[in-house]
Amino acid sequence: MRFQRYPMRREERRGVTPRRMAAAKRALERQAERLPLFADQIRENQPSPEERINQMDDGMTWIVGEWRELRANHWRKGRRMYSALPDAMRADVREKWRSCSWPGTGTYFITFVRWYKHHGFVYLDRPEEAIQYDRERLARTIIILRERGRTAQQGRNLEKAVVVGGVLKTRE
């Protein structure tokens, strides 16, 4: 199965550097200055700059772990959905997933399997008819907006507007 690994981040603490220390001091000072009447009380309850840096490092370690867990859960769900497919459909999904240009993440794999399961196909490349329809629809939208005389800024953008590959773009 094609997939992208989530970058492994070990318990690497960035540590206390002079730059981080200065930034932590500025942040704590800004926090206290937001409420001038209570600045003294706020400063009493604030952590030291070193403690703040350590809290930030702990938070980063935690959030990276959460993101890794979320991506792993997506892959588990996708593999469960994939395993529930009939053998013939599973072989077809495996072959098409290997050759498609979508990112190899669990979220995309779930979408891929759902589309294949419910529709029997996945649009890897849009049919020419759909692209042509989008081009025509965007061209009609441009004409309508020009006729309605949008604001000067919108009008300048619409004068430069072109449809490229079914996408509205502005010429420079």
Indicate whether 12 belongs to any domain.
Answer: no
- The answer to whether residues 94 and 162 belong to one domain is no
- The answer to whether residues 88 and 142 belong to one domain is no
- The answer to whether residues 105 and 132 belong to one domain is no
Indicate whether 2 belongs to any domain.
Answer: no
- The answer to whether residues 42 and 111 belong to one domain is yes
- What's CA 151's distance to the chain center, in Å? 32
- The answer to whether residues 109 and 143 belong to one domain is no
Q: Where are the beta strands (DSSP E) in 30-157?
A: none
Token pair for 144 = 């309508």
Decide: 28 and 52 in contact? Cβ < 8 Å: yes
Q: Is 105 exposed, middle or buried (0-12, 13-18, 19+ CB in 10 A)?
A: middle
Confidence of residue 63 (pLDDT cuts 50, 70, 90): confident
- The answer to whether residues 69 and 133 belong to one domain is no
- The answer to whether residues 111 and 132 belong to one domain is no
- The answer to whether residues 72 and 43 belong to one domain is yes
What is the pLDDT, as a whole number, of residue 161?
57
User: Could you report the per-residue pLDDT of 105-156, keeping only the tens digit for each?
Assistant: 899 999 999 888 887 766 666 667 777 777 788 788 877 777 776 544 454 4
- Residue numbers of the domain that contains 132: 128-170
Q: How far is CA 14 from CA 9, 46, 51, 54, in A?
A: 12, 21, 13, 9
Token pair for 13 = 């603490």
- The answer to whether residues 29 and 105 belong to one domain is yes
CA atoms within 13 A on the CB side of 171: 7
**Domain tally for the chain?**
2
Q: Residue 113 CB: number of other CB atoms within 10 A?
A: 24
pTM given for the model: 0.55
- The answer to whether residues 111 and 89 belong to one domain is yes
- The answer to whether residues 40 and 104 belong to one domain is yes
Mean pLDDT of the chain: 80
